[in-house]
Structure 1
Amino acid sequence: MSEELRLLPWPGPNGQRAYLSTEDPTGFLSRLADDLETAQLNTGADVLAHALQMLDDPRASSGELRYAVRRLGECLSDALRVAESRGGRLPDPEEDSPAEASA
């Protein structure tokens, strides 16, 4: 098994992207990253549901709506990072598919 770099769902010490280099996808840090990704996606779903309720409430103030949009932006950023990280760990379909027979 080759060693892969995994984009982690938290930033490095100076806010830069953080990566994990491991051959063990079940190691402690890999499981911690999996758990945090799941929590981030669940939080995004919760924030989205709350924001949609706020949009239906004519009494919601512009400040409340701006706050909801900020949180939605954070959740979208987290979700995009999760998608990038998980997408980077998918097998290459061209490597896994059988070679096409020549005609």
Structure 2
Amino acid sequence: MMFDAKGRLMRLLPWVNQSGAPCYLSTDDPDSRLSRLADEVEADLLDSAEYVLTEARALLAETVVGERELRFAGVRLAESLRDTLRIATSRGERLEVGLMLAEDDETGAYAAEHCSRNSGA
């Protein structure tokens, strides 16, 4: 996980920069314009991966397939897997932070309730 200078989680975006390095977004607003764009790109990439998988399975079911077709399918499958893993990593990081925040809220609520009971005794 990466955090910005203000301690906010940096969201791994589903694209890379021109040199191939990952791109990150720093925002507290999951409904920001760039967050919504990233969500749309992720959905498109997952739809594309599903299509590539379906077509590759059909190709592999054929009894006679040329080397070019197999190589093309393999390259597309590798690209789809790369994109899907990037999306899974990004979502997993955001889920992990969300769970940590929920635990903090539960701990705080428990402590507040427990302390208020004991302070009246």
- Report the structure number with the largest CA radius of gyration: 2
Which consecutive aligned stretches of 4+ in structure 1 deviate over 4 angstroms post-superposition? Answer: none
Q: State the AA in 1 paired with 2:10.
A: L
Match of 1:70 in 2: 75
Match of 1:11 in 2: 16
Q: State the AA in 2 paired with 1:51.
A: A
Match of 1:34 among 12, 29, 39: 39
Identity %: 42
Q: Gaps spanning 5+ residues in structure 1: where? A: none
Match of 2:25 in 1: 20
Please identify, of 37-46 and 7-16, the stretch whose mean Cα deviation from structure 2 is larger: 7-16
Between the two proteins, the alignment pairs up a number of residues equal to 98
Whole-Å separation in 1 of the counterparts to 2:53 and 2:75: 11
Q: State the AA in 2 paired with 1:67.
A: F
